[in-house]
A = this chain, B = another copy of it.
């Protein structure tokens, strides 16, 4: 841990109490000038720290940013977020940045997170609205030892983990929308974008990106999005800590990922089916170049949606846009 993070921990420990520059300097074995320099850096990151001659320093308000120093503080994972968290005040797309890092060899569990995305992406090159400081825009690098054709399982697993995180933190009644969205009262609160880099039979890496609307106010959405989008703030009437949601997601994500690699996909798809509530429903699916209508027989153990049309014919659909009919 670097000096700045150690300093932050000491400031947090003595929350509400003044701590002198001299005491901090002794504790961290660095000069008073170094303490003063790091205090300035923390202030720039958004920490509200009061300083006064003779009294020293007082941490008044922790940063509301999704800084590495905040995410790791209390993070209950073994690997995810423990090796490397890359933080951006602003970036094009966390998935794009994560792909660049993965190409350079970044390990499994590397997290990329941003306060704001200028080119936030959804499926098929769609955009994802990513206003500054309102949502969670985060990507995680995975290197699973599964064949490429099983990669869609990762999207379903991520949806389950994100649902569990939201349920555990904000007790919202939500539904997973096949294959990769999370809805509350029919409105989208989160989306997942899975990007895969593979050879014929081996996955090199998967980047799982998620966009989650947390403290987004209704007027931040464009007219088009307003009708179909929501946020934690809109649903509960209160802002919620993005850091806590990030920590909860990483915890559940790692937990389900461990289940996948040790015990397989069966229990995960079972939980997915509970959270999705799509089986037996009459739907329309707009797939690539094709539209299907019919009744959902099941989502099978590979995450493939099995649809029976009015002629009694069944269709296996890997991905598409679902509308209830």
Contact = CB atoms under 8 A, between A and B. Distances in A.
A199 interface: yes
B196 A124 contact: no
Contacts of A202: 123-124, 288, 319
Interface string A130-158: 00000000000000000111011001000
Contact of A195 (B193, B204, B320): B204
A242 interface: no
B124 A199 contact: yes
Interface in A4-20: none
A4 to B, nearest CB: 33
A294 interface: no
A168 interface: no
Contacts of A123: 199-200, 202
A177 interface: no
A198 interface: yes
A318 to B, nearest CB: 5
Contacts of A99: 103
A72 to B, nearest CB: 29
A96 interface: yes
Interface string A77-121: 000000000000000000010011001000000000000000000
Interface in A181-232: 193-202, 204
A314 B198 CA distance: 26
A197 B195 contact: yes
Interface of A: 96, 99-100, 103, 123-124, 147-149, 151-152, 155, 179-180, 193-202, 204, 287-288, 318-320
21 contacts: A100-B103, A147-B288, A148-B149, A148-B151, A149-B149, A151-B200, A152-B200, A152-B201, A193-B199, A195-B197, A195-B199, A195-B204, A196-B196, A196-B197, A198-B198, A199-B319, A200-B319, A201-B288, A201-B319, A202-B288, A202-B319
